[in-house]
Chain A
């Protein structure tokens, strides 16, 4: 997709930042209108900040239209895995090339 082609970006030390893929699932996929995006970031927090800037207002708008009122950031209402490991268990949040972030809301009902 042309919209997903990014020019290589450099961090403040002049190193190339990692090009990673972010995959959305479940309700986030429907509300964000896409199942994935790519971005360049040094670490997970940087990636989440970029996601919030790009998709945060859209997500809240969709949720409000559906009668759901969540005021926080996407990450406040998401399970987030880096390469299949929850951020809660990660020792390092540094990103490397081709990393994948998986993001979806917790579903706990039965």
Chain B
């Protein structure tokens, strides 16, 4: 924020524009509208997310987050707005993840992908449309985030992750979330996250099934599934035969975003040192405790 005076002005404008609203529980809350936060942001030259954080610190809820607060509290929403999450891969998982993180009110997203939309992406990649086939996925993702939430800022990287570039691309992220489609990139991301000492939310899908594991530095990780010598591990799985339907991608992406929210806000318990196996066909969810 520019100066103490500007900060004071922002606080005053927010307080003056706050309105009382009733939440579904009948309790009254002070809220501030999107129109007001946008107007204060442009007139004061302050980023929208800082206006929203300033409001929340005064107990005034940006109206758009009113339905978030009951689960994570004002402090939780502030933490999310002040955090950076890296989304690696903008496929079925990644595009759903980005959509949800923008709506959740994440402060900053690092989005990494080197691919363009093709027709076979239309079934599950929520940012692909008939009109944007051929467009780079990161470009479409950045546009979509801006449409959903002008407070969420985005850095895009049109790059394929390798062992060499991964660590520098992920630097600055509080959490890294997996939207990848192959094992070697996942192993590179896991290694980089361990080196950067940040959590990595691994997930993958095939058919009606998905699996998820949050890996903190020091936790067991992908080697617990694929072995310590990744050159003997499969590069692709059964998804090459049974495909990736839309609802499976959305289902697992949603669980990944819940992990991000839990890690950053401190609410709930992340799925660590175990693999969560979700089977939509049989309506079964299992956890397996993992060892080394």
Contacts and interface: CB of A to CB of B under 8 A. Distances in A.
Interface of A: 23, 25-27, 29-30, 35, 66, 68, 70, 77, 79, 81, 83-86, 88-89, 102, 104-110
B282 A30 contact: yes
Contact of A109 (B205, B226, B229, B289): B205
Interface of B: 89, 91-94, 178-183, 203-211, 223-229, 232-244, 249, 274, 277, 279, 281-282, 284, 286, 288-292
Given A84-B289, A108-B183, A25 B277 contact: yes
8 contacts: A27-B238, A35-B284, A81-B225, A84-B224, A89-B292, A106-B234, A107-B204, A109-B239
Interface of B is mostly: mixed
Contacts of A108: 181-183, 204, 206, 234-237, 239
Contacts of A23: 286
A63 to B, nearest CB: 8
A68 B240 CA distance: 10
A102 B288 contact: yes
Contact of A86 (B179, B183, B224): B224
Contact of A107 (B205, B224, B229): B205
Interface centre among B91, B182, B203, B279 (most CB of A within 10 A): B279
Among A29, A70, A77, A107: residue with most chain B CB under 10 A: A107
Nearest to B286: A25
Given A86-B227, A110-B180, 18 more contacts: A23-B286, A26-B206, A27-B207, A77-B238, A84-B290, A85-B224, A85-B291, A88-B226, A105-B237, A105-B238, A106-B206, A106-B226, A106-B237, A109-B205, A109-B206, A109-B237, A109-B244, A110-B204
A105 to B, nearest CB: 4
